[in-house]
Amino acid sequence: MPVKNRLAELHDEITAWRRDIHAHPELLFDTHRTAALVAEKLHEFGCDEVVTGIGRTGVVGVIRGKSDKSGKVIGLRADMDALPIEEATGVDYASEVPGAMHACGHDGHTAMLLGAAKYLAETRNFDGTAVVIFQPAEEGGGGGKEMCDDGMMKQFNIHEVYGMHNWPGRPVGSFAIRSGAFFAATDQFDITLTGKGGHAAKPHETIDPTVMASQAVMALQTIASRNADPVDRIVVSVTSFETSSTAFNVIPQAVHLKGTVRTMSPEMRDLAERRINEICTGIAATFGGSAEVQYFRGYPVMVNHPEQTDFAIEVAKSVSGDCDEAPLVMGGEDFAFMLEERPGAYILVGNGDTAHVHHPEYNFNDDAIPAGCSWYAEIVEKRLPVA
């Protein structure tokens, strides 16, 4: 079936929720206003349970179907947090919070799941239980992990879990997905290369860490070009190069490098961590200096489960008529933690020809709301059909 009529009727109301959330962005775990709004709406919809404070500021709503012969519980997840970016959209509902905006569309994700929750609470045309999950701190805080660490999956007896992200560049309301590894593991490194500072006119009396660091930046690229199998995907990016002195005539004592590593397999992740240590300590020793390397593992690879991916495709086709194979994404997604605990799938819904996510001119496309809401609702109704 196409977009559900009831959700099409709710389009304006859901849009209003979305724009209210957009005007009041909150970062990481500080999603207090958004969480309160979500909890208020879930109570208003008549959810059987509304639980707050999971994963610090997460909210979970429980909606029981008209029967429960299956005993199955399906989780649906949306993220709530914004990004520390100054908005440049010019819309009349733009961020009222300086230096923060919904530049990734989590306002849209939250509003779409609220719309689906309202529909499911009204109709309850399923056999089992739907659990709607509103998560804080996807943008680097690991809110998904904290909700899992709080025992969410066991507490609500969730059997499968599904998530969605809008995708600029895809036709509005269209879908794309892939089975297996989908979003990359996201790690960080922090390196301090120390030499011997001195006068820039007397380099022979120093151990120049800028030369060491420059060599290291270039050598780190050989992890992808010469250490990794060419068919494996890996990105090693140095994103910050900071010397301990900014004077024109001083060779600094130390250089501080920061960066990120993106991989699609545990093997590549291990390789990157090992080689970053070996390369930097080796180069520093060659020049007579030293290296301190810290490697921080972030989100794991997000892996869609095959059976649930096939089901998500079936539902997407029923809503929009088609579902494309999505490309691998080297960005990270902490829904990965939920998919490590339960089988499930994560899908992309088209946002149209808009600015890309994490851009100050990005804005969620409200025209995608009916398709996104319908996909969430159909996941429950098709997975838990009434006999």
What's the whole-number mean pLDDT along residues 108-131?
Answer: 98
Predicted confidence at residue 3, as pLDDT, reads 79
What class has domain 5-182+301-383? alpha beta
Give the Cα separation of 200 and 252 in Å (integer).
9
Predicted confidence at residue 387, as pLDDT, reads 84
CB 323 within 8 A of CB 175: yes
Both tokens assigned to 166:
């809008």
Tell which CATH architecture fits domain 185-299: 2-Layer Sandwich (3.30)
pLDDT bin (cut points 50, 70, 90) of residue 4 is: confident
CB 183 within 8 A of CB 163: no
Residue 355 has pLDDT above 50, yes or no: yes
Predicted confidence at residue 250, as pLDDT, reads 98
Q: Average pLDDT, whole number, for the chain?
A: 97
Residue 296 has pLDDT above 60, yes or no: yes
What's the whole-number mean pLDDT along residues 278-305?
Answer: 98
What are the pLDDT digits (tens) for 139-149? Answer: 999 999 999 99
Annotated binding-site residue numbers for Mn(2+): 104, 106, 139, 165, 358
Would you give the distance in Å from CA 366 to the centre of its chain? 20
**Residue in 96, 88, 92 with CA at minimum distance from that of residue 24:** 96
Catalytic residue IDs: 81, 138
pLDDT bin (cut points 50, 70, 90) of residue 1 is: very low
Residue 84 has pLDDT above 60, yes or no: yes
Q: Where are the alpha helices (DSSP H) in 301-334?
A: 306-320
Annotated binding-site residue numbers: 104, 106, 139, 165, 358
What are the extents of the domains in the chain? Answer: 5-182+301-383, 185-299
Predicted confidence at residue 381, as pLDDT, reads 98
Whether the model pTM is above 0.85: yes
Q: What is the DSSP letter of 286?
A: H
Give the Cα separation of 349 and 16 in Å (integer).
20
Residue with tokens 């701190």: 137
